[in-house]
Amino acid sequence: MRSYTLIAPAKINLYLEIIGNRPDGFHELAMILQSIDLADQISVRSLSTDTIRVHSHHPQVPTDKTNLAYRAAELMVKEFPDSFARFGGVEITIDKHIPVAAGLAGGSTNAAAVLVGIDLLWNLGLTQSELEELGAVLGSDVPFCIAGGTVIATGRGEQLSPLPNLDNIYIVLAKYRSLEVSTAWAYKTYRQQFGSTYIKDTASLIARASAVHSGPIVRAIANKDAADIAKKMHNDLERVVLPEYPQVLQLRELFASQPGVLGTMMSGSGPSVFALVESQQQAEVIKQQIRTTIPNEDLELFVTRMTTHGIKIASSV
Protein backbone atom coordinates (compact mmCIF):
# COMPACT_ATOMS: atom_id res chain seq x y z
CA MET A 1 0.00 0.00 0.00
CA ARG A 2 1.41 3.40 -0.99
CA SER A 3 1.25 6.47 1.21
CA TYR A 4 2.04 10.16 0.87
CA THR A 5 2.81 12.78 3.48
CA LEU A 6 1.91 16.31 2.48
CA ILE A 7 2.71 19.73 3.88
CA ALA A 8 -0.49 21.80 4.22
CA PRO A 9 0.29 25.49 4.93
CA ALA A 10 -2.04 27.93 6.69
CA LYS A 11 -3.04 31.27 5.16
CA ILE A 12 -3.45 34.79 6.42
CA ASN A 13 -5.58 37.53 4.88
CA LEU A 14 -3.56 40.59 3.95
CA TYR A 15 -6.80 42.14 2.74
CA LEU A 16 -10.51 41.37 3.15
CA GLU A 17 -13.20 43.61 1.72
CA ILE A 18 -16.87 42.72 1.77
CA ILE A 19 -18.35 43.89 -1.52
CA GLY A 20 -21.93 42.80 -0.88
CA ASN A 21 -24.21 39.88 -0.19
CA ARG A 22 -25.33 37.65 -3.01
CA PRO A 23 -28.61 35.92 -3.75
CA ASP A 24 -27.00 32.53 -2.94
CA GLY A 25 -26.43 33.64 0.68
CA PHE A 26 -22.65 34.01 0.29
CA HIS A 27 -20.78 37.31 0.39
CA GLU A 28 -19.06 38.77 -2.63
CA LEU A 29 -15.51 39.38 -1.43
CA ALA A 30 -12.17 40.81 -2.50
CA MET A 31 -9.42 39.13 -0.48
CA ILE A 32 -5.67 38.88 -0.68
CA LEU A 33 -4.61 35.51 0.63
CA GLN A 34 -1.07 34.65 1.62
CA SER A 35 0.40 31.22 2.45
CA ILE A 36 2.60 31.04 5.53
CA ASP A 37 5.03 28.33 6.54
CA LEU A 38 3.02 27.37 9.64
CA ALA A 39 1.68 24.05 8.36
CA ASP A 40 -0.03 20.76 9.20
CA GLN A 41 1.28 17.41 7.94
CA ILE A 42 -1.31 15.21 6.31
CA SER A 43 -0.64 11.56 5.50
CA VAL A 44 -2.89 9.63 3.16
CA ARG A 45 -2.67 5.87 2.75
CA SER A 46 -4.75 3.34 0.79
CA LEU A 47 -6.72 0.81 2.82
CA SER A 48 -7.73 -2.69 1.75
CA THR A 49 -11.24 -2.00 3.10
CA ASP A 50 -13.69 0.43 1.48
CA THR A 51 -13.70 2.90 4.37
CA ILE A 52 -12.49 6.44 5.04
CA ARG A 53 -10.69 6.85 8.36
CA VAL A 54 -9.37 10.04 9.96
CA HIS A 55 -6.86 10.13 12.83
CA SER A 56 -5.91 13.20 14.81
CA HIS A 57 -4.57 13.71 18.33
CA HIS A 58 -5.79 17.30 18.50
CA PRO A 59 -8.75 17.67 20.91
CA GLN A 60 -10.50 20.29 18.73
CA VAL A 61 -10.22 18.32 15.48
CA PRO A 62 -13.11 15.93 14.83
CA THR A 63 -12.38 12.55 13.23
CA ASP A 64 -15.89 11.91 11.91
CA LYS A 65 -17.71 13.17 8.80
CA THR A 66 -17.61 16.74 10.11
CA ASN A 67 -13.86 16.85 9.44
CA LEU A 68 -13.28 18.72 6.20
CA ALA A 69 -10.51 16.25 5.31
CA TYR A 70 -13.02 13.39 5.62
CA ARG A 71 -15.42 15.29 3.35
CA ALA A 72 -12.65 15.78 0.80
CA ALA A 73 -12.09 12.01 0.68
CA GLU A 74 -15.82 11.41 0.41
CA LEU A 75 -15.99 13.81 -2.54
CA MET A 76 -13.17 11.95 -4.31
CA VAL A 77 -14.99 8.63 -3.75
CA LYS A 78 -18.15 10.12 -5.25
CA GLU A 79 -16.33 11.65 -8.23
CA PHE A 80 -14.06 8.68 -9.00
CA PRO A 81 -15.99 5.52 -8.04
CA ASP A 82 -13.92 3.28 -10.37
CA SER A 83 -10.65 4.32 -8.72
CA PHE A 84 -12.20 3.83 -5.30
CA ALA A 85 -13.24 0.30 -6.32
CA ARG A 86 -9.73 -0.38 -7.63
CA PHE A 87 -7.58 1.18 -4.88
CA GLY A 88 -9.86 0.83 -1.81
CA GLY A 89 -10.46 3.20 1.07
CA VAL A 90 -8.24 5.93 2.49
CA GLU A 91 -6.68 6.50 5.88
CA ILE A 92 -5.94 10.15 6.70
CA THR A 93 -3.65 11.17 9.55
CA ILE A 94 -3.67 14.83 10.59
CA ASP A 95 -0.64 16.15 12.45
CA LYS A 96 -2.05 19.51 13.57
CA HIS A 97 0.18 22.53 14.09
CA ILE A 98 -2.13 25.26 12.73
CA PRO A 99 -4.33 26.75 15.49
CA VAL A 100 -7.92 25.52 15.09
CA ALA A 101 -10.84 27.87 14.37
CA ALA A 102 -8.40 30.74 13.99
CA GLY A 103 -9.15 32.31 10.59
CA LEU A 104 -6.08 30.53 9.19
CA ALA A 105 -7.92 28.03 6.92
CA GLY A 106 -6.73 25.03 8.94
CA GLY A 107 -9.57 22.73 7.87
CA SER A 108 -9.49 24.01 4.29
CA THR A 109 -5.77 23.29 3.84
CA ASN A 110 -6.28 19.78 5.26
CA ALA A 111 -9.05 19.19 2.72
CA ALA A 112 -6.82 20.52 -0.08
CA ALA A 113 -4.06 18.11 0.99
CA VAL A 114 -6.47 15.17 0.89
CA LEU A 115 -7.57 16.08 -2.67
CA VAL A 116 -3.91 16.25 -3.78
CA GLY A 117 -3.03 13.08 -1.82
CA ILE A 118 -5.84 10.98 -3.29
CA ASP A 119 -5.06 12.31 -6.78
CA LEU A 120 -1.56 10.87 -6.24
CA LEU A 121 -2.69 7.61 -4.59
CA TRP A 122 -5.14 6.88 -7.41
CA ASN A 123 -2.88 8.15 -10.26
CA LEU A 124 -5.66 10.46 -11.45
CA GLY A 125 -3.37 13.12 -12.92
CA LEU A 126 -5.79 15.96 -12.15
CA THR A 127 -4.74 19.47 -13.18
CA GLN A 128 -4.49 22.34 -10.71
CA SER A 129 -7.72 23.84 -12.00
CA GLU A 130 -9.55 20.48 -11.73
CA LEU A 131 -8.36 20.17 -8.13
CA GLU A 132 -9.46 23.76 -7.45
CA GLU A 133 -12.89 23.02 -8.89
CA LEU A 134 -13.27 20.05 -6.56
CA GLY A 135 -12.01 22.22 -3.69
CA ALA A 136 -14.71 24.83 -4.35
CA VAL A 137 -17.36 22.19 -3.60
CA LEU A 138 -15.90 21.80 -0.09
CA GLY A 139 -15.39 25.43 0.91
CA SER A 140 -14.42 28.88 -0.32
CA ASP A 141 -10.81 28.73 0.99
CA VAL A 142 -10.00 25.22 -0.32
CA PRO A 143 -9.17 26.18 -3.95
CA PHE A 144 -6.58 28.73 -2.77
CA CYS A 145 -4.95 26.19 -0.45
CA ILE A 146 -4.08 23.84 -3.38
CA ALA A 147 -1.40 26.03 -5.00
CA GLY A 148 -1.12 28.74 -2.31
CA GLY A 149 1.29 31.65 -2.65
CA THR A 150 0.00 35.23 -2.92
CA VAL A 151 -3.38 35.49 -4.59
CA ILE A 152 -6.28 37.88 -5.00
CA ALA A 153 -9.52 35.97 -4.47
CA THR A 154 -12.91 37.26 -5.59
CA GLY A 155 -16.42 35.85 -5.85
CA ARG A 156 -17.02 34.05 -2.55
CA GLY A 157 -13.25 33.60 -2.41
CA GLU A 158 -12.93 30.81 -4.95
CA GLN A 159 -12.01 32.87 -8.05
CA LEU A 160 -8.25 33.17 -7.89
CA SER A 161 -5.80 35.45 -9.68
CA PRO A 162 -2.14 35.09 -8.76
CA LEU A 163 -0.16 38.11 -7.57
CA PRO A 164 3.66 38.38 -7.51
CA ASN A 165 4.86 35.89 -4.91
CA LEU A 166 5.98 37.17 -1.53
CA ASP A 167 8.29 35.19 0.69
CA ASN A 168 10.72 35.73 3.55
CA ILE A 169 8.58 38.44 5.10
CA TYR A 170 8.47 37.54 8.78
CA ILE A 171 5.31 37.34 10.81
CA VAL A 172 4.44 37.01 14.48
CA LEU A 173 1.08 35.33 14.94
CA ALA A 174 -1.02 35.10 18.09
CA LYS A 175 -4.19 33.21 18.98
CA TYR A 176 -5.95 32.43 22.23
CA ARG A 177 -6.37 28.65 22.13
CA SER A 178 -9.80 28.66 23.80
CA LEU A 179 -11.19 31.64 21.89
CA GLU A 180 -13.28 30.90 18.80
CA VAL A 181 -15.12 33.36 16.54
CA SER A 182 -17.85 31.94 14.36
CA THR A 183 -17.28 32.99 10.74
CA ALA A 184 -21.05 32.93 10.13
CA TRP A 185 -21.61 35.23 13.16
CA ALA A 186 -18.96 37.69 11.94
CA TYR A 187 -20.47 38.06 8.45
CA LYS A 188 -24.04 38.18 9.77
CA THR A 189 -23.17 40.90 12.29
CA TYR A 190 -21.32 42.87 9.63
CA ARG A 191 -24.42 42.72 7.43
CA GLN A 192 -26.69 43.81 10.28
CA GLN A 193 -24.47 46.67 11.42
CA PHE A 194 -23.16 47.99 8.14
CA GLY A 195 -25.97 46.96 5.78
CA SER A 196 -23.77 45.40 3.12
CA THR A 197 -25.12 45.97 -0.41
CA TYR A 198 -27.41 43.32 -1.88
CA ILE A 199 -26.09 42.18 -5.24
CA LYS A 200 -28.99 41.00 -7.34
CA ASP A 201 -27.53 40.94 -10.85
CA THR A 202 -24.31 41.12 -12.86
CA ALA A 203 -24.68 44.86 -13.51
CA SER A 204 -24.77 45.74 -9.81
CA LEU A 205 -21.89 43.33 -9.18
CA ILE A 206 -19.73 45.06 -11.81
CA ALA A 207 -20.66 48.46 -10.37
CA ARG A 208 -19.66 47.42 -6.85
CA ALA A 209 -16.58 45.43 -7.89
CA SER A 210 -15.17 48.44 -9.73
CA ALA A 211 -15.25 50.36 -6.44
CA VAL A 212 -13.02 47.81 -4.63
CA HIS A 213 -10.18 49.45 -2.70
CA SER A 214 -7.46 46.80 -3.07
CA GLY A 215 -5.44 48.77 -5.69
CA PRO A 216 -2.90 50.30 -3.26
CA ILE A 217 -2.01 47.02 -1.54
CA VAL A 218 -1.77 45.21 -4.89
CA ARG A 219 0.75 47.87 -5.99
CA ALA A 220 2.69 47.43 -2.72
CA ILE A 221 2.78 43.65 -3.35
CA ALA A 222 3.98 44.20 -6.93
CA ASN A 223 6.83 46.30 -5.47
CA LYS A 224 7.48 43.61 -2.79
CA ASP A 225 7.60 46.46 -0.29
CA ALA A 226 6.89 44.86 3.11
CA ALA A 227 6.49 48.18 4.96
CA ASP A 228 4.04 49.49 2.36
CA ILE A 229 2.10 46.19 2.29
CA ALA A 230 1.82 46.35 6.07
CA LYS A 231 0.47 49.92 5.91
CA LYS A 232 -2.16 49.02 3.30
CA MET A 233 -3.51 45.87 5.00
CA HIS A 234 -7.24 45.92 5.71
CA ASN A 235 -9.94 43.59 7.05
CA ASP A 236 -13.60 44.70 7.11
CA LEU A 237 -14.44 42.03 9.69
CA GLU A 238 -12.32 43.81 12.32
CA ARG A 239 -15.18 46.31 12.55
CA VAL A 240 -17.40 43.66 14.15
CA VAL A 241 -14.89 41.33 15.84
CA LEU A 242 -12.68 43.88 17.67
CA PRO A 243 -15.51 45.60 19.59
CA GLU A 244 -16.96 42.23 20.63
CA TYR A 245 -13.69 40.46 21.60
CA PRO A 246 -11.53 42.65 23.87
CA GLN A 247 -8.74 40.01 23.89
CA VAL A 248 -8.37 40.33 20.12
CA LEU A 249 -8.35 44.12 20.35
CA GLN A 250 -5.72 43.96 23.12
CA LEU A 251 -3.46 41.77 20.95
CA ARG A 252 -3.93 44.08 18.01
CA GLU A 253 -2.94 47.12 20.13
CA LEU A 254 -0.05 45.32 21.78
CA PHE A 255 1.40 44.31 18.40
CA ALA A 256 0.99 47.86 17.09
CA SER A 257 3.03 49.24 20.00
CA GLN A 258 6.06 46.96 19.44
CA PRO A 259 9.20 48.43 17.83
CA GLY A 260 9.91 46.68 14.53
CA VAL A 261 6.25 45.97 13.72
CA LEU A 262 5.45 47.18 10.20
CA GLY A 263 1.70 46.62 10.56
CA THR A 264 -0.80 44.35 12.27
CA MET A 265 -4.16 42.83 11.29
CA MET A 266 -6.70 40.16 12.25
CA SER A 267 -6.77 37.20 9.85
CA GLY A 268 -10.12 36.27 8.25
CA SER A 269 -12.90 36.31 10.82
CA GLY A 270 -10.29 35.94 13.57
CA PRO A 271 -9.51 35.52 16.31
CA SER A 272 -5.87 35.17 15.26
CA VAL A 273 -3.92 38.41 14.94
CA PHE A 274 -0.62 38.79 13.11
CA ALA A 275 2.07 41.40 12.61
CA LEU A 276 4.45 41.85 9.70
CA VAL A 277 7.93 42.58 11.02
CA GLU A 278 11.28 43.67 9.65
CA SER A 279 13.37 40.58 10.39
CA GLN A 280 13.36 37.11 11.93
CA GLN A 281 15.44 38.36 14.82
CA GLN A 282 12.96 41.13 15.56
CA ALA A 283 10.08 38.65 15.27
CA GLU A 284 11.64 36.52 18.03
CA VAL A 285 12.10 39.60 20.25
CA ILE A 286 8.47 40.67 19.69
CA LYS A 287 7.19 37.17 20.42
CA GLN A 288 9.14 37.17 23.70
CA GLN A 289 7.86 40.64 24.58
CA ILE A 290 4.22 39.60 24.02
CA ARG A 291 4.78 36.46 26.09
CA THR A 292 6.15 38.56 28.95
CA THR A 293 3.24 41.04 28.77
CA ILE A 294 0.61 38.27 28.53
CA PRO A 295 1.97 35.27 30.45
CA ASN A 296 -1.33 33.41 29.87
CA GLU A 297 -0.60 29.87 28.62
CA ASP A 298 -3.82 29.94 26.63
CA LEU A 299 -2.13 32.35 24.22
CA GLU A 300 -0.37 30.55 21.36
CA LEU A 301 2.44 32.52 19.71
CA PHE A 302 4.34 31.70 16.53
CA VAL A 303 7.12 33.19 14.45
CA THR A 304 6.42 32.29 10.84
CA ARG A 305 6.96 33.76 7.39
CA MET A 306 5.28 34.10 4.05
CA THR A 307 5.78 31.23 1.65
CA THR A 308 5.21 30.75 -2.07
CA HIS A 309 3.67 27.28 -2.05
CA GLY A 310 0.45 25.51 -1.16
CA ILE A 311 0.20 21.71 -0.81
CA LYS A 312 3.60 20.08 -1.18
CA ILE A 313 4.75 16.45 -1.00
CA ALA A 314 7.02 15.88 2.02
CA SER A 315 7.59 12.15 1.45
CA SER A 316 6.12 9.06 -0.17
CA VAL A 317 6.55 5.37 0.53
* Interacting residues with ligand ATP (CB under 6 A): 60-62, 66-69, 94, 100-108, 110, 141, 183, 268
Residue 316 C-beta: closest distance to ligand ATP, Å: 21
Q: What is the spatial distance between Cα 249 and Cα 98, in angstroms, rounded to a whole number? A: 21
Q: Are 136 and 18 in contact (CB under 8 A)?
A: no
Q: Residue 2: how many CA atoms within 13 Å on its side-chain side?
A: 11
Is position 107 annotated in a ligand binding site? yes
Residue 153 C-beta: closest distance to ligand ATP, Å: 12
Is position 303 annotated in a ligand binding site? no
Q: Give φ, ψ of 230 to 5 degrees.
A: -60, -40
Is position 143 annotated in a ligand binding site? no
> Considering beta carbons, is residue 32 or 220 the nearer one to ligand ATP?
32
> Considering beta carbons, is residue 42 or 217 the nearer one to ligand ATP?
42
Residue 213 C-beta: closest distance to ligand ATP, Å: 22
Is position 103 annotated in a ligand binding site? yes
Among 91, 125, 95, which residue's Cα sits nearest to residue 109?
95
Residue 17 C-beta: closest distance to ligand ATP, Å: 16
> Considering beta carbons, is residue 3 or 183 the nearer one to ligand ATP?
183
Q: Which residue is nearest to ligand ATP (CB)?
A: 107
DSSP string, 117-156: HHHHHTT----HHHHHHHHHHH-TTHHHHHH-SEEEEETT
Is position 102 annotated in a ligand binding site? yes
Among 307, 316, 317, 315, which residue's Cα sits nearest to residue 109?
307
> Considering beta carbons, is residue 143 or 205 the nearer one to ligand ATP?
143
Catalytic residue numbers?
Answer: 11, 141
Q: What is the spatial distance between Cα 268 and Cα 317, in angstroms, rounded to a whole number? A: 36
List the binding residues for ATP.
Answer: 99-109
Residue stretches of the annotated binding site: 99-109
